[in-house]
């Protein structure tokens, strides 16, 4: 199970070729190698919560400017994997990580990396909307302020731009000074997306961003993802098969800490290679 994905390279053609150079094939071991330039490259990644192992030798790459979905049954390690990408697991004591996570070929677990700068480049949106109990404006401006922006005009400009990108501007432009807690759940989640966009990340991690929302808000967020896709590299965890197939370009199926299968979404959903994947997708377990 440690080497789950064995797709031939030739089958895979990314929709948005980014140079077309193979970047992940230096290692002798048979690796999932695709014809794209990976924004994120995960090699041999394992993670332990104290004594318990939650990730087993995960190898995976995520292409730039596309949406990668992580699916799998509850407790299989999707959130854990996602949180290794912005080192969110650092705040949990007794977590140990081995292997490599490289973003733009820089190992993010190396000593020289500034975790704050990393998180500025890798934004995150959580399952439960978590706006700060501040005004709508201050929520979006928060990231700018902590990274040292103090020019009022430029803050205002970025806040407006981010809210527009998050498709929330029209709804809140007249109530920017109101407490963010007065927004609806779907609006709060879009606010959190705007908040993440404001600091100018290149990667967006989303952990079941719509699971707490009603179908309409979910649809809005999915539309939003579609709009953001070309400018950001997005990794999304979801329990919703339709959502994964609708929004993502690439899909990884996880099971009990292993990455079982990874490939283009169409392929995973139409012709999965592994039996487990098929069972899960067709709803036979999970």
Partner 1 sequence: MASIIDPKFKRGFWQDGEPFVWGTAAALSAILISITILIAVIMVNGLGVMWPSDVALLSLQDGAQVFGLPLREDPILGSDAINLQIKTGNRDLYGADFRWVEKGTVRAIEYPSDVYTLERMEYGNFYGRFKRLGDGAAPASSEDLEKAWQAGQEEKERIAAAAEEVNALSRRIDGISGRVLKLKHSGTPENDATLQGLLGEQETAKQELQGRMAEQSALTQALLAHTATFVDAGGREMTIPLMNIVRLYQPSQMGIGAKSRFYLSKIGELLFDEPRESNTEGGLFPAIFGTVMLTFLMSLLSFPLGLLAGIYLREYAREGIFIRIVRIAVNNLAGIPSIVYGIFGLGFFVYGIGGTIDAWFFPERLPTPTFGTGGILWASLTLGILTVPVVIVSTEEALGAIPRGIREGAYALGSTKFQTLVRVLLPMASPGIMTGFILAMARAAGEVAPLMITGVVKLAPTLPLDAEYPFLHLDRKFMHLGFHIFDIGFQSPNVEAAKPMVFVTTLLLVLIVLLMSSTAIYMRGRMRERYSVRSL
Which residues contact Mg ion (rule: CB under 5 A)?
A: 79
Q: Does 77 help bind ligand ATP (rule: CB under 6 A)?
A: yes
Q: Does 126 help bind partner 1 (rule: CB under 8 A)?
A: yes
Tokens for 115, please give them: 């975790």
Q: Does 106 help bind partner 1 (rule: CB under 8 A)?
A: no
Q: Which residue has the tokens 């080192």?
A: 87
Q: What minimum distance in Å lies between the beta carbon of 253 and ligand ATP?
A: 11
Angle at CA of residue 186, ends 183 and 188, nearest 5°: 45
Q: How far apart are CA 5 and CA 260, in angstroms?
A: 7
Query: What is the phi/psi pair of residue 79, to 5°?
Result: -65, -40
15-23, 54-62, 177-185, 246-254 -> range binding partner 1 (CB under 8 A): 177-185
Q: How far apart are CA 2 and CA 71, in angstroms?
A: 18
By rule CB under 6 A, what count of residues binds ligand ATP? 12
> 64: how many CB neighbours lie within 10 A of its CB?
18
Q: What minimum distance in Å lies between the beta carbon of 7 and ligand ATP?
A: 23
Q: How far apart are CA 267 and CA 245, in angstroms?
A: 10
Antiparallel, parallel or unpaired: β 233-237 and 67-71: parallel
Write each residue from 55 to 74 as x if it is in contact with ligand ATP (CB under 6 A), else as -, in one continuous string: -----------------x-x
Q: Does 49 help bind partner 1 (rule: CB under 8 A)?
A: no
Q: Does 49 help bind ligand ATP (rule: CB under 6 A)?
A: yes
Q: What minimum distance in Å lies between the beta carbon of 221 and Mg ion?
A: 17
Q: What minimum distance in Å lies between the beta carbon of 198 and partner 1?
A: 8
| Residue 49 site contact among Mg ion, ligand ATP, partner 1, none (CB < 5 to 8 Å, cut-off depends on kind) | ligand ATP
Considering beta carbons, is residue 154 or 184 the nearer one to partner 1?
Answer: 184
Alpha-carbon dihedral angle through residues 53, 106, 234, 269, given to the nearest 10 degrees: -60
* CB of 67 closer than 8 Å to CB of 250: yes
Q: What minimum distance in Å lies between the beta carbon of 98 and ligand ATP?
A: 16
Considering beta carbons, is residue 2 or 130 the nearer one to partner 1?
Answer: 130
Q: How far apart are CA 45 and CA 149, in angstroms?
A: 35
* CB of 195 closer than 8 Å to CB of 162: yes
Of residues 90 through 149, those in contact with ligand ATP by CB under 6 A are 92
46-54, 105-113, 146-154, 269-277 -> range binding ligand ATP (CB under 6 A): 46-54
Interface residue with partner 1, options 53, 128, 175, 275 (CB under 8 A) = 128
SS (H, E, C) 81-96: HHHHCCCHHHHCCCEE
Write each residue from 58 to 97 as x if it is in contact with partner 1 (CB under 8 A), else as -, in one continuous string: ----------------------------x-x--x-x----
Per the document, the length of the chain is: 286
Secondary structure (3-state) at 190: helix
Tokens for 170, please give them: 């029209």
Instruction: Catalog residues that contact partner 1 under the rule CB under 8 A.
Output: 86, 88, 91, 93, 115-120, 123-124, 126, 128, 130-133, 142-143, 145-147, 179, 181-182, 185, 188, 192, 195-196, 199
């Amino acid at each position: 199970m440690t080497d789950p994905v064995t797709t031939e390279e030739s089958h895979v053609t990314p929709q948005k070729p980014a140079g077309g150079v193979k970047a992940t094939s230096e290692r002798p071991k048979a690796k999932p190698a695709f014809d794209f330039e990976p924004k994120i490259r995960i090699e041999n990644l394992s993670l332990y919560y104290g004594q318990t192992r939650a990730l087993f030798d995960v190898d995976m790459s995520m292409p730039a400017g596309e949406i990668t979905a992580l699916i799998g049954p509850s407790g299989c390690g999707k959130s854990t994997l996602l949180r290794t990408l912005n080192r969110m697991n650092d705040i949990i004591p007794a977590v140990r990580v081995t292997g490599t996570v490289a973003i733009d070929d820089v190992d993010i677990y190396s000593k020289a990396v500034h975790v704050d700068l990393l998180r500025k480049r890798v934004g995150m949106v959580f399952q439960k909307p978590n706006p700060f109990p501040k005004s709508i404006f201050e929520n979006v401006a928060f990231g700018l302020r902590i990274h040292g922006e103090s020019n009022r005009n430029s803050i205002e400009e970025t806040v407006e731009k981010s809210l527009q990108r998050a498709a929330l501007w029209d709804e809140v432009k007249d109530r920017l000074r109101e407490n963010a807690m007065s927004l609806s759940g779907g609006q709060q989640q879009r606010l959190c997306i705007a908040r993440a966009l404001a600091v100018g990340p290149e990667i967006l991690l989303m952990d079941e961003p719509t699971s707490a929302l009603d179908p309409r808000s979910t649809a809005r967020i999915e539309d939003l993802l579609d709009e953001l896709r070309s400018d950001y590299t997005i990794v999304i965890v979801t329990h919703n098969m339709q959502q994964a197939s609708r929004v993502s370009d690439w899909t990884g199926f996880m099971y009990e800490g292993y990455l079982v299968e990874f490939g283009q979404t169409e392929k995973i959903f139409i012709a999965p290679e592994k039996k487990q994947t098929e069972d899960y997708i067709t709803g036979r377990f999970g």
